[in-house]
């Protein structure tokens, strides 16, 4: 019975597979330990969220007519400000 001959391409493939397995194990171990002290961002006062949600729903119901509605323009501006500047909503 002849011995097992490992040519360089086979060795490289084995090393590559071993590295992939090692990376998968390391990633699974890292993702298994989720930090429990993750802070929930403050979304501002509840009244503001409710008013914005109601206004956005109204503008969505208007459809294309909302383009010319100044109230919708103001609501969209406020929504953009809350979205892009989260500290401004507090």
Give the distance, in angstroms, between the CA of residue 49 and the centroid of all CA atoms in the same chain.
Answer: 21
Question: Where are the alpha helices (H) located in the chain, listed in sequence order?
Answer: 8-32, 46-62, 70-84
Burial of 75 (0-12, 13-18, 19+ CB in 10 A): buried
Residue spans of the chain under pLDDT 70: 1-3, 34-48, 86-90
In the prediction, which pLDDT does 79 show?
87
What's the half-sphere exposure (Cβ side, CA atoms, 13 Å) at 80? 6
């Amino acid at each position: 019975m002849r011995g097992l001959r490992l040519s360089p391409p086979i060795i490289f493939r084995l090393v590559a597979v071993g590295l992939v397995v090692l990376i998968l194990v390391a990633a699974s171990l890292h993702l298994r330990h989720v930090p429990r002290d993750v802070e929930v961002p403050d979304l501002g006062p509840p009244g503001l969220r409710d008013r914005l949600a109601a206004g956005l729903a109204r503008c969505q119901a208007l459809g294309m007519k909302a383009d010319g509605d100044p109230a919708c323009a103001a609501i969209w501006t406020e929504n953009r400000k809350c979205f892009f500047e989260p500290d401004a909503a507090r």
